[in-house]
Structure formats: C-alpha cells, structure tokens
Structure 1
Amino acid sequence: MAMTKRENAMAIYNGEQPDFYGDFMEAMALIPDPILLSDLVPQDGEEHLDSWGTTYIWQPGAPGAHPHVTNENAVIKDITKWEEQLKVPSVKGLDWTMAENMANEVNRDEMFVGFLCGGGLFERSHHLMGMMNAFYNYMDYPDEMKAMLTVIKDYKIEVLKETAAHIHPDVVFFHDDWGSKQNLFLPPDVWRDIIKPLHAEIVQTAHDLGMIFMHHADCICQPVVEDMVEIGIDIWQGVIAQNDIPYIQEVTKGKLAMVGGIDGPKIDVENITEEEIRAEVRRAIDTYCPAGRFFPSIPNGICFREWNNEIFLDELHKYGRIYAQEHPINKAVN
C-alpha cells in the first residue's frame, strides 16, 4: 500500500525506506493564523507598519514584503534605550476561528498541520533597527542586544503556546535567516553568545508542546550546524547548495534532517534547457540523498518562472520516486 505524504516524509525523517524522495513542505498544510496575518502588508508598493512598528514595502510582483528601515523610521534608534522604544505586540484576544476551522479540516493521517512563525530573533533585531545598526550593536552593545532579544524570545514562546492551544500544530516552520549566500551575518562566537541560548529555549518550548521544530534559513549556516543539532533543531529547511552539504551530513552524523540542495537560482533563469533543469534536480538527489534524512527541494520552495517550475516539479516527482526504488535503505545505516 502506498504511503501517505505524511508517512513518506516521516520515513525520510526517521532514516527509513520511503516511497519517494521529495520536499517535506508538500506533506504539510500551513495554517494562516491571526498572529501571522496581523503582520501581513498589502502588495501595493506603499509603506505599511507591522505590529512591531517596523515599516514594510511589498512591491507588486515581488515574492514578499521587505523591511524598509531608515534612521528616521527605525523602532530602535538607540539600543541603550531599547526598553523605552520597544513595544511588544500582544498575542491575546485574536480571532482564531478561521485557523481552527482550517486545522480541523486537515486529515492528520495524510498531512502535517504546520504554521509559519516568522521574524526570528536575528531577523526581528535588524527589522527593528536596520541591518547596519544591528551589526554595530551586536558587536559593541552585546549586553543590550541580549536583553532586548530575551524579551523577543519570550514573545516567540508565547506565540508557540497560543498557537498550540488553538490548532495543535505538528510542525512549527520557524524563520530566521542567519546568513547570506556567502557566510553567516554574525561571527560564530557572537551568534553562539547571543542568539544560540535564546533560540534553544524556543526550540525546547516547541518540543515541550509536541511540535517538530523546522528552522528555515536559506543561507550559509555551515559554521553553526553542530550547534543547531546541540540545541535540538529537528529539520533545517532552506539548505542552499553553497553549503558543503556532504560535509554537513558527515559532521552532524545524521542528527539534522535537511530540506533543500537544489540550486534554485541556477535553474530559475531564462534561456535554460529542460535537460539542464532536470539534471540539477538529479544532481541534488544523487549527491545528498545517499546519506539519508534528506528532502530534495529548492530552498525557497519554487521556481518563480512557471515553465521552469513545472519542469523542476516533474523531475523531482519522477526521479525522486525512481531513486527511492533503485536505492533501498541500508537498515544498518540511519
């Protein structure tokens, strides 16, 4: 009997034989909750404030909204006065009716129920003060940054608890990009001193609430992957090919499931052939799936060009199944 999408994803996650190799995200019903929706801004190219007071712009045709932080509109203008300037939104008193109804309609034997928890510690910090000021403050005012991020950590924990009470998610899809396509944004020692212990509390709370913790960071995280294992991150979603993925699989000893590996920007271009797209999908599966616990996908989910995306998905679904059939799991190696 064929596995459901959830069963197949759990087989990969547990290092067992799946029916096919594919994107974990295809097995998850993401529920739009009122906390997430309260921060959405219109796709009109105009400036809008989110619940934290950060200015965002969502340009027509762009994949998402981006913070537009200046010295004039920054929420935190002086990190030594963050307690006066930071206003943490409340997660209470929101209408969960739509989210509850959507979650109740999901057959959990077939799909995971998940929710997107955006604006992690690092992202929220630079959304509040701007990227350059955040870099400066992490280096020169670490105590103040740690104190401010502790308050944000407490907020994220309240989000997890409130969401668990209403829709009982199987998975939290937690967003916090820690780097670029070239490196981490912060020196690893700074990340370990400030971000790591606070993020560990968030991860532990998710586990206490019965959730799989899937961390999205479509960037370089290679310098801290062993730390990610240490603090209990279950799945790293967004693993770009610029990371040395086989090395990461080796040093994490199979303890960190990963989603990604297909070089999206490489195949989401004009004047590319169908075979070149298919070849990149096969390369990722052939290279990364042998170590196990790997979900091949484009780190940001899709190609934005429709034709490219159709070819990518077709090859992923076809070759992901062929690979599973032709490469049965060695039960002695998980």
Structure 2
Amino acid sequence: MNDRIKAIERQHPDRIPVSASILPAAWMKHREALDAIVRRHPLVFGPQDKPRDYDAVWSDTYHKGEHVDAWGCVWSNVKDGAEAIVTGHPVPTRAAVHTLAIPDQDDNMPHGFMYLRLADLRGFDEIMMDFAEEPPELQMLIDKVLAYNLRQVQKRLAAIQKPRQIVYFGDDLGMQHSLPISPEKWRRYLKPCYRQIFAPVKAAGHYVYMHSDGHILEIIPDLMDCGVDVLNPQVGANGLANLARVCKGKVCVDLDLDRQMFPFWKPADIDRHVQEAVEILGAPEGGLWLKAEIGDDVPLENVEAICCALEKYSTYFKTHPATSPAGHPERSEGSLSFRHSPKTAEILRSAQNGTVREKGARMGSGDSGAH
C-alpha cells in the first residue's frame, strides 16, 4: 500500500503525498532552467529519465487557434501553452436542446465533464437562466450529458487493469466566493448525476478523486455522500479553517495550494503557507495530500521554493517534535501534541468552533448566479 492509499485510508503514511503540476506555458517559457529544478526534486515530480519536449501540450486546446470538441463546443486560444476558453456554444436556445444529439465520439471525460459541460453547451448566462427558471429543457439537457458520461465512465473502468486505483474527475463547481447556483438546486439537479457517475467506480473497488476550482464548502458533504474519496479544492476559495471544519477526518484532501499567490509571494511566504496547510489540515494518521500548480507567471525562485517546502513538510509528522501540553498552542493527535504558531493555533480554534468563515479566493468569475 503506497502513501497515497494510506492517506486515504488514514493508515499513517510515511510521508504526506505531494505533487506539482507544471502548465505547458511554463515549460515553453523556462525550458532547461525549469527542467533543472524538476530534476532536483524527484520526491515531488518522480523519476526524470526521459527526454523532455518543452513545446508539448496536454491536448489540442492548448494550441493557439480554435478547436471543436466531441459535443461541438468551439474552444479558442490566443497563445500556445495557455488554457483555452469556450467561445462557441452549440445549444444557444432551449429549442436546440431537443435536437442535440449525444456524441458517438468518446472524450474520456475531460475536465468539466458535467456542470461545466452544461455551461459550455448553453453558454454561462443561458444556463444560469435555465437553473433560475427551471424549464423542462434543463433536465433534458442534464439527462443527455449524464447519459454520455455514464458511457464514458464504463469505458474508463474497462481500461483499468489493477485493483484499488484512484480514478480522476474534474469539474469546476464553484465561483470566486460562492456556488453559481444555490445548494438546493445543486442537490436537486446535479448531485444525482455525480452519484450515478461515481457509483460504478466505487462498485469496482476504486477510489474517486474529485477536483473542483472555486467555492464549494456548502456541497462538500454532498460530494462525500456521492462517493468522493479524495477532494481537490482551492485553498484560497474556501479557506483553511473552513476546509478543516468541513473535511478533516471525513474525506482525504489533496489541497490545491494557493497558485494565485505563487507569482507574488517570497520564498518565505510559500514555506509558511505550506506549513500552515499541513498543521491545519494534516494529521499523523493521514487524510492530506498537497498539490501545487505552476504557471508561466511563477518566478523560478518560487518554483524552487514550492518544491523545497513540499519536500520539507511532507515528513512533518515524522520529524516535528511533540511538546508538553502546558502553555503552548497545540493540536492533540492521539498521545502526541504538536506546537503551532499563534496564527495557526487561531485558525485551528476557529475551525473547531466554526466561528470563522474565511474570505474566498482572488481568482475566478464574479459571484452572480442562479439561486
């Protein structure tokens, strides 16, 4: 059993599992200099024994120009290596929902497979109106996207040869400070979809990994109820104290460290951020992974700092000394007590008391939506 599975099962991993994802634009910009950093940190990136193509991209949408996906959505990109956005929506009217055909072409459930797919098909403003007014075409569209996704998940499962694998799903369910629709409507229209999609993964004995950008605090218990084993939320959009209150001891968190601040922080800020994340969300028995996304706007000095901090704090619960309970801010973990900084101790008390609701992230769309 590796440390990732041990962390999910809370069976005392040797290290907190850590990783970093480097966007194609960052490789294109920094090339050999970035490669040198990656090769210095195999704990974060794994073995690096193959030649590197610095101009490689993850999919066609990372190329400059336009790309049409299996559903007919038009993706536009102005820069090689950057992320594209959907500029052409193939279902512009409710009447068009009736004639929308479920694609024969497989897409292997890319990022944005359910909720975002609805927005990509209709356009954000139109899908918000649909959720607000609840016409019959809303459920009709949901049913078509769900049917397609259920077919895709069966194909994914058929390709898995080993037991107890971690199956990735990604769908940005939140906005900067709120959900785009009310929690009640999310539970009515979307929760049944995720439950059905995740059910065959769970039935096959695998683990469900769910990524979501944005503020999702209100529906995290629902995602757990749908079968999520590992949740990958944005720290900035949800807050460490809030995530500790909602998630700790209940679901394994692969914490998306604050990528919005990586371009601006000093190395010492990054170190402190990772330490606080470990102290607030971590525990010796597990339940925490750490993840950093690195874009082309992150200075190389900070890339090095991210890697060093991930390595340093991955062994926090093996190397951090236990302290006497008397007179120190601390957290008890079984028979051990760990000393914390005053700021971390304050956040922990807030999480325990449920008294603090941290402000959301500095990233994402506005907060208007259908309620």
Q: What's the CA shift for 1:50?
A: 0.9
Instruction: Give the aligned partner of residue 325 of structure 1.
Output: 319
Which range is displaced more, 54-63 or 278-287? 54-63
> Measured at CA, do residues 59 and 324 of structure 1 come closer, stay the same or move farther in structure 2, by a change above 3 Å?
farther
Q: What's the CA shift for 1:261?
A: 5.1
Per-residue CA distance 1:78-121 (angstroms, 9 max, x = gap): 22441203442333xx9xxxxxxxxxxxxxxxxxxxx8742321
Instruction: Give the aligned partner of residue 192 of structure 1.
Output: 187
> Equivalent of 2:94, from 66, 79, 102?
79
- Assess if the C-alpha contact under 8 Å between 2:109 and 2:149 holds in 1: no
- Assess if the C-alpha contact under 8 Å between 2:102 and 2:144 holds in 1: no
SS of match in other structure, 1:18: coil
- Assess if the C-alpha contact under 8 Å between 2:8 and 2:229 holds in 1: no
> Measured at CA, do residues 209 and 279 of structure 1 come closer, stay the same or move farther in structure 2, by a change above 3 Å?
same
Map 1:32-111 → 2, pairs under 5 A: 40-41=59-60, 43-69=62-88, 74-91=89-106
Map 1:136-155 → 2, pairs under 5 A: 136-155=129-148
Give the residue type in structure 2 aligned to 1:229.
Answer: M
> Measured at CA, do residues 24 and 9 of structure 1 come closer, stay the same or move farther in structure 2, by a change above 3 Å?
farther
Q: What's the CA shift for 1:142?
A: 4.6
Instruction: Give the aligned partner of residue 111 of structure 1.
Output: none
SS of match in other structure, 2:140: helix
In structure 2, runs of 5+ residues without a counterpart are 21-43, 48-57, 323-331, 337-371
Instruction: Give the aligned partner of residue 9 of structure 1.
Output: 4
SS of match in other structure, 2:168: strand
- Assess if the C-alpha contact under 8 Å between 2:255 and 2:290 holds in 1: yes
Q: Relative contact order (C-alpha < 8 Å, sep 6+): which is higher?
A: 2
Instruction: Give the aligned partner of residue 294 of structure 2.
Output: 302
SS of match in other structure, 1:172: strand
> Measured at CA, do residues 16 and 142 of structure 1 come closer, stay the same or move farther in structure 2, by a change above 3 Å?
farther
Which range is displaced more, 80-89 or 224-233? 80-89
> Measured at CA, do residues 202 and 307 of structure 1 come closer, stay the same or move farther in structure 2, by a change above 3 Å?
same
Instruction: Using structure 1 for the length normalisation, give the TM-score.
Output: 0.76
Q: What's the CA shift for 1:273?
A: 2.3
Q: What's the CA shift for 1:149?
A: 1.2
- C-alpha distance in structure 2 between counterparts of 1:22 and 1:172, whole Å: 16
Q: What's the CA shift for 1:332?
A: 8.8
> Equivalent of 1:210, from 205, 210, 226?
205
- C-alpha distance in structure 2 between counterparts of 1:142 and 1:254, whole Å: 40
- C-alpha distance in structure 2 between counterparts of 1:83 and 1:124, whole Å: 17
Instruction: Using structure 2 for the length normalisation, give the TM-score.
Output: 0.69
> Measured at CA, do residues 117 and 172 of structure 1 come closer, stay the same or move farther in structure 2, by a change above 3 Å?
farther
Instruction: Give the aligned partner of residue 31 of structure 2.
Output: none
- C-alpha distance in structure 2 between counterparts of 1:126 and 1:28, whole Å: 36
> Measured at CA, do residues 267 and 119 of structure 1 come closer, stay the same or move farther in structure 2, by a change above 3 Å?
closer
- C-alpha distance in structure 2 between counterparts of 1:204 and 1:219, whole Å: 24
- C-alpha distance in structure 1 between counterparts of 2:291 and 2:100, whole Å: 41
Q: What's the CA shift for 1:286?
A: 1.7
- C-alpha distance in structure 1 between counterparts of 2:236 and 2:283, whole Å: 16
- C-alpha distance in structure 2 between counterparts of 1:183 and 1:135, whole Å: 14
> Equivalent of 2:176, from 176, 181, 193?
181
SS of match in other structure, 1:52: coil
Per-residue CA distance 1:55-76 (angstroms, 9 max, x = gap): 002332554222113xxxx211
Q: What's the CA shift for 1:268?
A: 2.4
Q: What's the CA shift for 1:294?
A: 1.6
Instruction: Give the aligned partner of residue 254 of structure 2.
Output: 259
Let me know the Cα RMSD of the aligned residues: 3.0
Identity level (%): 18
- C-alpha distance in structure 1 between counterparts of 2:318 and 2:181, whole Å: 38
> Measured at CA, do residues 220 and 332 of structure 1 come closer, stay the same or move farther in structure 2, by a change above 3 Å?
farther
Instruction: Give the aligned partner of residue 128 of structure 2.
Output: 135
